[in-house]
Structure 1
Amino acid sequence: MSRRGGPSWRRPATRRQLLLGMAVGMGGAAGLSLARHQSGGEGLSGAVAEEVRGVDRPSTFRYQRPDGPVSVIPPRREFYIDAEAGAQQTFGDLYLPATANPSLPVVILIHGGGWSKELGLEYMGKLAEDLASFDVAVWNIEYRRIGSGGGWPTTVQDVCSAVDYLQDIDKQMGGRLDLERVAVCGHSSGGHLALWVAGRERLPANLPGGKPKQVVSHCVSLAGVADLVSAEESGDRYLKDLLGTTLSDNRDLFVQASPIAHLPTGCQVVTIHGENDDVVLPSQSRAYVDAARAAGDDARLEIVPGGNHDPWTDIRQSPWKRARTILLSQLRVPGSSLTVTTPTTTAPANP
C-alpha cells in the first residue's frame, strides 16, 4: 500500500492521536484494550476522549459533534490504488470507533457532485464520523472524476475498486471488519454509484465492477441518479462529459450505465429523496423502486417532506438522522444503547 504524495486536509496528529490510531490499527487484543471507550465501562480519560472525538475538519466545513455514544479515532487515509497511478484521487478515509468491538459492520460513503472534480469527499466527513460514533466502521471514498482523469468507465471502476479494497483493510486489521454486513450509501451522483455497487454481483464481467471481490448487503441512495436516460432528458448537465457522448448519438451507452437497467440486484435498497428536489427529480428514485420491486428486489422509497436536493448535509437535522437510522437498522447494530427501530412510515412507490 503506497502513501506517496497523499493529499491531506488534516493537521498533524498529536502524540495521543498517533498512539490511539496505532492501537486500533493493530487489531489485536492489546491494541484494542488501549482504544476501548464504551459507555459505563472501562474508557479513555476525559481529555483523551475529547481529543479522539474531535476529528479534524477542513476549515470550510463547520464541525458538528456526532450523536453516538462512542468516540471516533481520527480518520486514516488509505490508497486503494497507488497514489501516482490514481492521480492521487484513489483513496478513502477510514473512520473507526474507539471500541473493543471485534466485528465491526461497515458503511461505505460515496459523495456526489455531478461526477465532477468540483466537489470531493470532505462534505461526507461529518456523516462518516457520526456513523462511526455508533460503533460502525466507515469507509468514505474518493475517486477520479470528470476533469481530473475520470469519466466512464474509470469513475465507476474506481468506486468498485475502493469497495473491493475493504478486504485488504480487513486483513490489516486482523479480521476486525464484518464483511457480511456492509452497506453502501451515496448522495446524488454518488447515489448512482451506490446503486451500481448494489448490483455488482449480477453484472456481466465486461461492465465496470463485474466479478466483485466484495459485495454489499444493503444500499441507501440519497437523491441518487438511477436512470441516466431520463436524467439526460430532464436536463442533467454532467452526463455528456461523464459518458463522452450524447443521448442522441449513443442511447445504448446511457442505458448500459444506468443502475435501473441491471435489475434485480439481490440487495436490499432504500431510496430517499427530497420532495422538492429540482436537481435530481424524485421520479428517479420512484422509477427505480418500481422497477426493482417488479424484478423481485426488496426496495423501498422514502420521501423527505419539503426536502431539497441535500437535506442530509446537516447531521443535527431529522433527514440525516432518519437516513442514519435506516443504515444502522440494515446493519443490525447491536447493544441496547445503539438500538434503532425498523421504519414504519414509508412513502409508496406510486403515491
Structure 2
Amino acid sequence: MPDDAAAARDAAEEQSAFSHPPVDPDAIASYGDHPDQVIDFYAPRGETAPGVLVPLVVLLHGGAWRAPYDRRHVTPLADFLARRGFAVANVEYRRGAEEGSAGAGASGSGGAGSGSGSASASASGAGAGAGSGSGSGSGEGASVAGRWPGTFDDVAAALDALPALVREALPQADARRMVLTGHSAGGHLALWAAARHVLPADAPWRTGRPVPLRGVVALAPIADFTVADKLDVCGGAARQLLGEGEEFAERLPYADPAFLLPTGIATTLVQGRSDIVVPPAVAESYADAAAKAGEMVGLTLLEDVGHFPLIDPAADACAVVVEEIAQLAW
C-alpha cells in the first residue's frame, strides 16, 4: 500500500492532469456502428508549408478499460501534441461490460450491440479514478474493466480503418510516419496493436505483416498482465478484462504484450518511478521479457513522477513524452 505522502502526491498530480478543459477535435470519423467506435482528429496547429506532410500520432486513452473513462480526458494531450506540429488521431473503443453483464469475460461476445461506455463523459469524471479504477459508473458493468473480445476488436478495427479515414479527415498527416502512444490501459493497447503480426495463428486480429509504424511510445503501460495481476493493478483490471480462472490463462497469449515479443518495432516505455497506480515493476518486467526475446526496448524512468504527469500538458514529464514521440516520428 502506498504511504500517505505518496498518495497525497498522486492525488495532486491527478488533480492537475484533469484540471484542463477538454478540447474539441477538428473532425470525427466512425470506424464502426457502435457509438464508441469513433476517432477524433486534431490537425497540426500553426502554418505548414503547402504539400508538406507531418507525422501522425495515434493516441489510446487509459482508464483501466472501464466504461466511465473515455477519450475526453486525453484531449488536452491531443491538443498539446497538435500544437507541437503533429497530426493526432484520438481513438475511442468499447470499455466495460455489455449492459446487464456481470463481467468482461462473461459473455465472450464482442458484438457491436449497445454497451455501457459513453463517449461524452467529462474530463473530470475520467480523472476520478481513471488510473486507479476506483471510480463508479452507472450499473455494475460500468466498473468492470474492458470487454472481451470487443475492446480488442475495436482497436484492431480502428487501426485497420485509420489510413483511409486519415486521408479524408487529416490530409496534412503522413500515415507512413505513424507513432502509436497510449497511457496506462491505453499503453497496453498500443503495445498490443503493434504486435498483431505475432499473435497466435488463430487470433482473429492477427495481421500478415507488421503494422507500418515508426514506433510505439507507451506511457506507464499495463504491459505485463502477470505482474499487474500479482500487484492488483487498478483493482484487478487485467483479470476483469480477460476473465477469471482458466479464461485468464488461456487468453494471455492473445492479449498480454509480454507474450507478444519480439515485435521488430521500435518501442519506448516512459514510466514515473513514483507511480503507485501502475508501478514501475510492470514496465520493467516487459522490458526484461523483450530483452530475453532478443529485442531492445527503451525504458525512460522519470524521477519523482507518478502516473498522471505523463498526460498532463502542464507537467515537465509531458514534454519528455513529446520528445520521445518526436525522436521516432521525425
TM-score range, shorter chain: 0.7 to 0.9
| CA RMSD across the alignment | 2.4
Match of 2:54 in 1: 104
How far apart are residue 176 of structure 1 and its match?
4.6
The gaps in structure 2 that reach 5 residues or longer are: 1-17, 99-114, 116-145
Cα separation, 2, equivalents of 1:81 and 1:151: 16
| Identity between Structure 1 and Structure 2 (%) | 32
Deviation, 1:138, is 0.4
The answer on 1:220 being equivalent to 2:217 is yes
Within 2, Cα distance between the matches of 1:145 and 1:267?
Answer: 27
Matched residue SS, 1:219: strand
How far residue 174 of structure 1 moved from its aligned partner, in angstroms, is: 8.8
Q: Which residue of 2 aligns with 1:240?
A: 239
Q: Does residue 231 of the first structure (1) align with residue 234 of the second (2)? A: no
* 2:91 equivalent among 113, 116, 141: 141
Q: Are the equivalent residues in 2 in contact too, given 1:227–1:255 (CA < 8 A)?
A: no
CA shift, 1:308, in A, is 1.4
Q: Give the Cα separation in 1 of the matches to 2:224 and 2:38.
A: 27
Structure 1 residue 272: deviation in Å?
1.1
Q: Distance in 1 between matches of 2:21 and 2:303?
A: 26
Aligned equivalents of 1:250 and 1:298: distance in 2? 28
1:105, distance to aligned residue in structure 2 (A): 1.3
Deviations 1:270-312 (A, max 9, x none): 1111112122121111111122133232411111111112112
Residues 182-197 of structure 1: matches in 2 within 5 Å?
182-197=178-193
The answer to whether the 8 Å contact 1:276/1:308 transfers is: yes
- Give the TM-score taking structure 1 as reference length: 0.68
Give 1:170 deviation, angstroms: 3.5
Q: Which moved more, 1:310-319 or 1:169-178?
A: 169-178
User: Partner residue of 1:260?
Assistant: 258
Match of 2:177 in 1: 181
C-alpha contact (below 8 Å) 1:276/1:307 kept by paired residues: yes
- Count of aligned residue pairs for this structure pair: 261
Q: Deviations over 1:62-111 (max 9, x none)?
A: 2499xxxxxxx9421111112xxx2x001010001253453221101001
What is aligned with 2:73?
123
Provide structure 1 residue ranges, at least 5 long, that are not aligned to the other structure. 1-59, 66-72, 333-351
* Rg (Cα) greater in structure: 1
2:20 corresponds, among 28, 38, 62, to 62
Paired AA for residue 214 in structure 2: S
Q: 1:30-109 maps to which residues of 2 (within 5 A)? A: 62-63=20-21, 74-82=25-33, 86=34, 88-98=35-45, 99=48, 100-109=50-59
**C-alpha distance in structure 2 between counterparts of 1:116 and 1:208, whole Å:** 23
- Classify the secondary structure of the residue corresponding to 1:116: coil
CA–CA distance in 2 between the matches of 1:75 and 1:135?
15
Q: Contact conserved, 2:179 with 2:329, CA < 8 A, in 1?
A: yes
Aligned partner of residue 52 in structure 2, secondary structure:
coil
- Equivalents in 1 of 2:205, 2:172: separation in Å? 25
Q: TM-score, normalised by structure 2?
A: 0.72
Q: CA deviation at 1:173?
A: 5.6
Structure with larger RCO (C-alpha < 8 A, sep 6+):
2
Query: Does the 8 Å contact 1:105/1:331 carry over to 2?
Result: yes
Say whether 1:282 aligns with 2:280: yes
Give how far 1:207 is off.
2.3
